[in-house]
């Protein structure tokens, strides 16, 4: 029997010395010279080169090295070990960075508001997820090549339900000798890390992925805020917003959520914090100077925890032994957006912290006539005694939509200092 090779175009077996395919007419000169250089490897294995022992580490190194390699092949063990690697990496990234990235928007365009730390976290998470996605996509193309199928079969992903199932079946097929036809462009002059266009593509995909996450986080935050304010408006629909009524409402509830005056613990999010000492202060801050709306802070409580607690995770993880709770109420005189849960607090002893993400969800987009109130929590990394905090400074943003570009009042930064005595 005469020796055969496979057509670079249709993949059918043809004589080794053929210069064109008798089935499709494709010229075979280039592939012949390439195959002559790799005769021993091709004849012995008829499969792409692979290490003697394929495992998670060798598959991951191959995947990283061939992130933008399209025309070669990858064996079935190499592909599925790489697939397991990327699934585990994506899971870890989602737990460590993704949950935080989706928790609230890193930036808002109208009005312009940027959370620098959240933006950096979002970009890192997006870049890593894009890299793993590209690695997985090109590896799937090379696995199809190894089964003598064109990468165009990946278009089947667009078919609902049936398409992904067919792709999985194709990816599980054994290596086919005819798949050698896809190795014609195997040699690359330099690795992808030395090519400008690969970095440009990664940057563009990262920015697009980050924008999608930010939009999703913003919509989620707005929906949560609207739900909370809607419930608050229903509860308080029969109450007028006079100063006396507001004080009565504050005194009657006196914040049943944690009952700080009679309890030795408070609850922040899902965590119960044991309290060693506490001191509550009545305040009289009221600001009705902006957008026909009124912001009030009527109570500040300083807690000394019983022991040291930990908040956050990863790089945001920190220990604390003190908590400042600020109760705020808002009356929206027109449609506004207010973000006190993203406020920054400074203390007289030199500490500056942002509002804890487990603060009450009572802000966001507020419709005209809406009354909303809740507690802001700020954790302090060092607090010797509750009496050490004698004053606090609080800053937060608010805005409203307008078509008047000359309206300098559309964006407001509230800045107040409260003396605790």
pLDDT > 90 fraction of the chain, expressed in percent and rounded:
43
Mean pLDDT of 207-218: 90
**Residue 259 — very low, low, confident or very high, per pLDDT cuts 50/70/90?**
very low
Q: Mean of the per-residue pLDDT values for the chain?
A: 81
Please tell me which residue, 121 or 223, carries the higher pLDDT value: 121
**Residue 32 — very low, low, confident or very high, per pLDDT cuts 50/70/90?**
very low
Please tell me which residue, 246 or 136, carries the higher pLDDT value: 136
pLDDT at 183 over 70: yes
**Residue 175 — very low, low, confident or very high, per pLDDT cuts 50/70/90?**
confident
Please tell me which residue, 223 or 102, carries the higher pLDDT value: 102
What pLDDT is stored for residue 228 in this prediction? Answer: 59
**Residue 276 — very low, low, confident or very high, per pLDDT cuts 50/70/90?**
very high
pLDDT at 397 over 80: yes
Mean pLDDT of 286-304: 94
pLDDT at 195 over 50: yes
Report yes or no: 285 and 297 within 8 Å, Cβ to Cβ.
yes
What pLDDT is stored for residue 101 in this prediction? Answer: 87
Residue 135 is encoded by which pair of tokens?
A: 């690695």
Report yes or no: 116 and 208 within 8 Å, Cβ to Cβ.
no
pLDDT at 418 over 70: yes
Question: Looking at the DSSP assignment, which residues form a beta bridge with residue 395?
Answer: 344, 415
CA 117 to CA 344: how far, in whole Å? Answer: 14
Task: Report the b/e string of 185-195 with b at 16+ CB within 10 A.
Answer: eeeeeeebeee
80 CB burial (10 A radius; 0-12, 13-18, 19+): middle
pLDDT at 211 over 50: yes
Report yes or no: 217 and 105 within 8 Å, Cβ to Cβ.
yes
Query: What is the pTM (predicted TM-score) of this model?
Result: 0.48
Measured CA to CA in angstroms, residue 113 lies from 192, 339, 356, 398 at distances of 36, 11, 18, 10
Mean pLDDT of 329-344: 93
Ramachandran sector of residue 11 (left: φ over 0; alpha: ψ -120 to 50; beta: rest): left
Residue 290 is encoded by which pair of tokens?
A: 């902006």
**Which segment of 22-31, 65-74, 342-351 scores lowest on mean pLDDT?**
22-31
**Which segment of 22-36, 60-74, 178-192, 375-389 scores lowest on mean pLDDT?**
22-36
Backbone angles phi, psi at 159, to 5 degrees: -80, 125
pLDDT at 164 over 80: yes
Measuring CA to CA, which residue among 391, 322, 402 is closest to residue 356?
322
CA 54 to CA 68: how far, in whole Å? Answer: 21
pLDDT > 70 fraction of the chain, expressed in percent and rounded:
79
Measured CA to CA in angstroms, residue 394 lies from 285, 307, 347, 390 at distances of 11, 26, 9, 14
Question: Looking at the DSSP assignment, which residues form a beta bridge with residue 281?
Answer: 300
Mean pLDDT of 69-93: 90
327 CB burial (10 A radius; 0-12, 13-18, 19+): buried
**Residue 44 — very low, low, confident or very high, per pLDDT cuts 50/70/90?**
very low
What pLDDT is stored for residue 84 in this prediction? Answer: 94
**Which segment of 123-132, 150-159, 195-204, 260-269 scores lowest on mean pLDDT?**
260-269
CA 24 to CA 104: how far, in whole Å? Answer: 57
User: Which value, in Å, is the radius of gyration of the alpha carbons in the chain?
Assistant: 31
Please tell me which residue, 299 or 32, carries the higher pLDDT value: 299
**Residue 30 — very low, low, confident or very high, per pLDDT cuts 50/70/90?**
very low
Report yes or no: 138 and 67 within 8 Å, Cβ to Cβ.
yes
What angle, 0 to 180 degrees and rounded to 10, lies between the N-to-C axes of helices 116-146 and 56-65?
100
């Amino acid at each position: 029997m005469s020796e055969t090779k496979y057509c670079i175009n249709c993949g059918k077996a043809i004589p080794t010395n053929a210069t064109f395919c008798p089935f499709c007419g494709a010229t075979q000169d280039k592939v012949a010279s390439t195959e002559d250089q790799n005769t021993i490897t091709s004849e012995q294995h008829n499969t792409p080169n692979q290490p003697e022992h394929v495992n998670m580490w060798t598959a991951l190194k191959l995947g990283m090295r061939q992130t933008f390699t399209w025309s070669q092949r990858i064996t079935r063990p190499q592909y599925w070990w790489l697939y397991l690697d990327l699934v585990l990496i994506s899971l870890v990234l989602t737990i460590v960075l993704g949950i935080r990235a989706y928790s609230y928007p890193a930036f808002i365009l109208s009005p312009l508001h940027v959370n620098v730390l959240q933006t950096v976290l979002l970009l890192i998470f997006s870049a890593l997820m894009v890299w793993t996605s590209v690695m997985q996509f090109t590896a799937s193309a090379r696995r199809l090549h190894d089964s003598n199928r064109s990468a165009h079969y990946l278009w089947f992903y667009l078919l609902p339900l049936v398409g992904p199932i067919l792709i999985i079946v194709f990816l599980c097929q054994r290596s086919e000798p005819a798949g050698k036809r896809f190795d014609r462009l195997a040699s690359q002059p330099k690795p992808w890390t030395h090519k400008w266009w690969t970095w440009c593509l990664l940057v563009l995909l990262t920015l697009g992925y980050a924008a999608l996450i930010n939009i999703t986080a913003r919509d989620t935050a707005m929906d949560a805020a609207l739900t909370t304010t809607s419930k608050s408006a229903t509860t308080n629909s029969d109450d007028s917003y006079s100063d006396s009524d507001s004080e009565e409402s504050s005194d009657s509830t006196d914040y049943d959520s944690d009952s700080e005056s009679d309890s030795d613990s408070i609850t922040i999010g899902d965590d119960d914090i044991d309290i060693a000492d506490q001191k509550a202060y009545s305040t009289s801050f009221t600001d009705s100077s902006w957008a026909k709306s009124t912001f009030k802070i009527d109570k500040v409580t300083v807690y000394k925890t019983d022991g040291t607690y930990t908040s956050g995770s990863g790089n945001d993880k920190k220990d604390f032994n003190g908590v400042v709770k600020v109760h705020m109420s808002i009356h929206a005189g027109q449609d506004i957006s207010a973000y006190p849960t993203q406020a920054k607090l400074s203390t007289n002893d030199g500490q500056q912290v942002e509002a804890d993400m487990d603060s009450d969800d009572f802000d966001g987009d507020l419709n005209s006539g809406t009354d909303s109130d809740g507690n802001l929590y700020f954790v302090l990394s060092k607090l010797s005694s509750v009496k050490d905090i004698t004053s606090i400074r609080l800053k937060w943003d608010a805005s409203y939509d307008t078509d008047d570009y000359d309206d300098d009042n559309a964006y407001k930064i509230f800045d107040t200092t409260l003396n605790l005595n």
